[in-house]
Structure 1
Amino acid sequence: MLALPPGLDPDLLRSFVLIVEGGSFTRAAQAVGRTQSAVSMQIRRLEDMLGQPLLLRGTRGVEPTQHGLWLLERARRMLALNDEIHATFRQPEVAGAVRLGTPDDYAIRWLPGILARFAASHPAVQVEVICAPSNELVERLGEDELDLTLISEGNEPPGARVRWLWRGPLLWIGTEAAARRRPLPLALASSGCAWRQAAIGALDAADRPWRMTYTAASLSGSLAVALAGLAVTVAMPAPLPEGVSRLGAEEGLPPLPDFAIGLLRGPCSPVAEALAQHIEESFRLDLTIEPPLRA
């Protein structure tokens, strides 16, 4: 009789994914509530089981080997399926409607995977998605027009309890030709945007002259101007359309601060609470998000 291979423990795969995403055994241990030595033992068990080294310590922290990179993509899919099955059978039936706000910049980038899995595990819930700038979404949440919303750091109301989901660098995006113009032409959102304030603050601190060439309501509008070579904009780490690239010190641009994505809730119904927990879990597991990329 043919012997079956041993099954892969989801806990081992979860620790492996968290180590790769965070570049650190320490951060992974904190995320799973274990000691660093316990997480190290998990990785040794996984490597012994698969017969290949999966992680190496490099100049940028812990990095996956070629076998580790191959495993990473598949581990993410296995964990997503594992958690979907668990949620479907263990969570109580939730039904109703929930209103989710999100900045346009996040909607296409991250929401499709999150909402698809939520629909699979909560088929009786109807999600209404409203896209608007973070400052407007905060106002609409306060007026009970939303149940919960994603926001960019810098837009949270004083004293608000925000669940911070992700932190990463803000990047200059555009063409080298546009970046070398003086004053620097900018395509950014309206004056209430935290990204706009960060970009202008960095330029002023570096004494780099600038002028606001275009004001766009969304990142797609700013990228369109950048693609035309007419201005430089800012964006989060993400695949970029052909024709623009990340810019930095070589083009005379100052570094930009990191930013965070947060989840802000109103008075939560069971439906809204279920979606909030699902969003938090998706970000925690990095199921839809690439690791933060440094310029």
Structure 2
Amino acid sequence: MLMAMLRPATLDPDLLRAFVLIAEERSFTRAAQMVGRTQSAVSMQVQRLEGILGQQLFHRGRGGQVDQTRHGQFLLDRAREMLALNDDIWRTFHQPSVSGQVRLGVPDDYALRFLPRVLMRFAEVHPDVEVDVVCAPSKELIPRLRTGELDLALVSEGDTAAGMGGEPLWTGPLVWIGSDRHATHKMDPLPLALSDPSCCWRLSAIQALETTGRRFRVAYTSSAQTGTLAPVMAGLAITMSPATALPEGVRVLGPEDGLPPLPNFQVLMLRAREARQPVTDALADYISETFAREAVKSSQAA
């Protein structure tokens, strides 16, 4: 009898989906419109979930806008994780398995940040697919995509070739990176470790410094992020990077360090015209979904 009393109730995925959608849209009305249901039906789903959990999940404000309560904030990330696991299980058993080879091009900094999650989840559902990963700068991946050497490529906005389009995956800030043990950012002229001259990130860094009149010199050049981070860790230069997946020994530098702001950057996914199907589509779907999840996590952290 005691065990039966302590056994927790099962959380209905449909109720969790309604909760997550309302939390993301901050509106019962918009959430109802997106799922094609009435607002009262969506409200009833939330009421059922609140009844099961015994806590209020939303504060209702002016103009129909809603915000999560403390308990709602606690639930949101966990609900996303539960739904992701539910969807992975469903997809594993119901999505047609594909086989063959898919060739993916990705710069090394994106590979370290995003690729492990993509490959792990993709392999769970499609274990018979051989993924050939080519790590190279964006400007080298684009011509290989054009000639059919690659099926998919992740590239930086600004490095894309005209007419190739591309699916936006990620938008985030570029930041200055320096050693956490050296005051390299105070040197004059400022020593930089940057990519090759055609890189859009390099052009952004130089333009930002020139606009503010900061003297600088390009001390190190490398087409790989590891090659630009090595002199930074040694205290010989500073560089620029997305503020994610940074190694030990470096830190983000900002206006308080006398450095100008940098623009946002965008990651795009490009497909070859003659990409192998359907294995290419399957991997592309997992890439899109992984980036979407990371974007949500980043927005919540902010």
TM-score of the two chains, using structure 2 as the length reference: 0.80
- Contact 2:209–2:215 (8 Å) recurs in 1: yes
Deviations along 1:163-187, one digit per CA (max 9) or x if unpaired, are 1011111111103611121211111
Change (3 A) 1:95 1:196: same
Partner of 1:231: 237
Partner of 2:201: 195
Partner of 2:254: 248
CA shift, 1:246, in A, is 0.9
1:179 and 2:185 matched? yes
1:118 and 2:119 matched? no
Partner of 2:63: none
CA shift, 1:79, in A, is 2.9
CA shift, 1:86, in A, is 2.0
- Contact 2:185–2:238 (8 Å) recurs in 1: yes
The two structures, once aligned, show a CA RMSD in angstroms of: 3.3
Change (3 A) 1:13 1:241: farther
1:151 and 2:159 matched? no
In 1, the alpha carbon distance for the partners of 2:298 and 2:99 equals 31
1:272 and 2:276 matched? no
- Gap regions ≥5 residues in structure 1: none
Partner of 1:164: 168
CA shift, 1:19, in A, is 8.0
Deviations along 1:149-199, one digit per CA (max 9) or x if unpaired, are 111111111122211011111111103611121211111111122211111
- Contact 2:107–2:135 (8 Å) recurs in 1: yes
2:259 alignment partner, SS class:
coil
- Contact 2:112–2:245 (8 Å) recurs in 1: no
Alignment of 1:20-31 (within 5 A): 25=26
Partner of 1:82: 86
1:170 alignment partner, SS class:
strand
Q: Give the AA of the match of 1:276.
A: A
Change (3 A) 1:169 1:146: same
Change (3 A) 1:286 1:240: closer
Change (3 A) 1:161 1:56: farther
In 2, the alpha carbon distance for the partners of 1:216 and 1:231 equals 13
Change (3 A) 1:94 1:74: same
In 2, the alpha carbon distance for the partners of 1:153 and 1:114 equals 21
1:33 alignment partner, SS class:
helix
- Gap regions ≥5 residues in structure 2: 61-65
Change (3 A) 1:131 1:247: same
In 2, the alpha carbon distance for the partners of 1:251 and 1:63 equals 36
After superposing the two structures, state which structure 1 stretch, 97-106 or 279-288, moved more.
Answer: 279-288
1:217 alignment partner, SS class:
coil
2:164 alignment partner, SS class:
coil
1:284 and 2:292 matched? yes
Overall identity of the aligned pairs, in %:
50
Aligned residues: 285
Partner of 1:33: 34
In 2, the alpha carbon distance for the partners of 1:18 and 1:231 equals 45
Larger of the two Rg values belongs to structure: 2
